[in-house]
Chains A and B, each alone.
Chain A
Amino acid sequence: MIRKSSVLVLLIALAAGSGSLLAQSLNSGLRGPTPLNEEGPAPPMTPMRNTSEKEVRNYPEQPPVIPHSIEGYQIDINGNKCMSCHARARTGESQAPMVSITHFMDRDGQFLASVSPRRYFCTSCHVPQNVVKAPITNDFVDIDTLIGRTAPGGQR
């Protein structure tokens, strides 16, 4: 008798729990108010940032982001469109920044004559930026800001 009633109580609790779960509308910044078992509308596509103005890196090791559109740029075994401007020999005409010298190094730190094969696919690390409003907030602060929070005249 006791077992039967406890099972009943458990069932009621489960039903109530699942009911409240289903009724609850999840509101995540990325998903929006769409229920988990449904697919929400796709957000509109946004244009690529195309100002060509260098963006400040958030930390020294960050691969610089691409400040221009790279739509249709081919990077494959046949050719690398990025290198048409960013290769050492092309920078005079293009006035684009040269690929970093670190990209000429193989993995043993030996410098090669041209860009190392392991660095060939630019977009593995360097990405263009789209004009979007960030859907979630981010409280990242760079190291200079962090250090700058110390009192004036404090230790560097």
Chain B
Amino acid sequence: MSTADPASPRRSWLARLWNFIVELWDVLRRPSSVFGLGVLVFAGFVAGIIFWGGFNTALEITNTEKFCTGCHEMKDNVFAELKTTVHFSNPSGVRASCPDCHVPHNWTDKIARKMQASKEVWGHLFGTINTREKFQDHRLELALHEWARLKANDSLECRNCHSAESMDITKQSPRASVAHQRFLFTGEKTCIDCHKGIAHQLPDMKGVPGWQ
């Protein structure tokens, strides 16, 4: 009732938040006087499973074809183009979907790539490629990023399925057999050097090595 009361709720929310943090810290730094050590360890264990499992499950959800094609930028451009290629439908019925080629399978690299992908969320929110024309304008830049990434890791995502060791060159066409023996087996070139544009349409290839 009095305006001069020092404990009145007129104090700013910032100060109250600070008070709460200080009190919470006081509780956290004191040993528990209620729960046994076993209870705390067990609770920590269960919470660990839930949080870590939840994190990985969420990560896996972002690693599916359904999630990737959730944005129209992906669905109408690159995914539509993938549909005509051998990596989408083929005699053996094995499909390489988006993350098989574009997300490293190794955990640390995967997290690094996922953090880089936050730029793509930015691009989606601000409509960087929200029309076909804008996408075409950016196609070269986007393709150059992927080519550089695959070149740097020696086409690791290709090799997750296709390995030089398990390649039966006698079953390949003479042309492929000769080229693989000359360039792949000797390590002179990596997959992406020759196999550009196998899953999506190519950007303007002027000046790209090996193209006219």
Residues of chain A at the chain B interface (Cβ within 8 Å) = 50-53, 68-69, 71-72, 74, 77-81, 83-84, 87, 89-90, 94-95, 114-115
Pull 16 A–B residue pairs with CB atoms less than 8 Å apart, ordered by A. Answer: A50-B173, A51-B173, A52-B173, A52-B174, A71-B86, A74-B202, A77-B204, A78-B201, A78-B202, A78-B204, A79-B197, A79-B204, A83-B211, A84-B211, A84-B212, A87-B212
Interface size range on B against A: 20 to 34
User: Complex: how many Å from CA A30 to CA B197?
Assistant: 37
Query: Nearest chain A CB to B194's CB is how many angstroms away?
Result: 8
A51 to B84, CA, bound (A): 24
Q: Do A51 and B212 touch across chains, with their CB atoms under 8 A apart?
A: no
Q: Taking CB as reference atom, which chain B residue is nearest A88? A: B212
Return B162 CB to nearest CB of chain A, in Å.
Answer: 16
Contact B211 A79 (CB under 8 A): yes
A52-B175, A95-B178 are known contacts; what are 4 more A-B pairs with Cβ within 8 Å? A53-B174, A78-B202, A81-B197, A83-B211
CB distance from A145 to the nearest CB of B (A): 29
Q: Is the CB of B86 within 8 A of A79?
A: no
In angstroms, Cα B212 to Cα A17, docked, is 63
The 0/1 profile, CB within 8 Å of A marked 1, for residues 77-110 of chain B is 0000000111000000000000000000000000
Which B residues are in CB contact (< 8 Å) with A72? 84-86, 197-198
CB-CB under 8 A from B212, the residues of chain A are 79-80, 83-84, 87, 89-90, 114-115
Give the secondary structure class of A's interface. Answer: loop
Q: Is B203's CB under 8 angstroms from A78's CB? A: yes
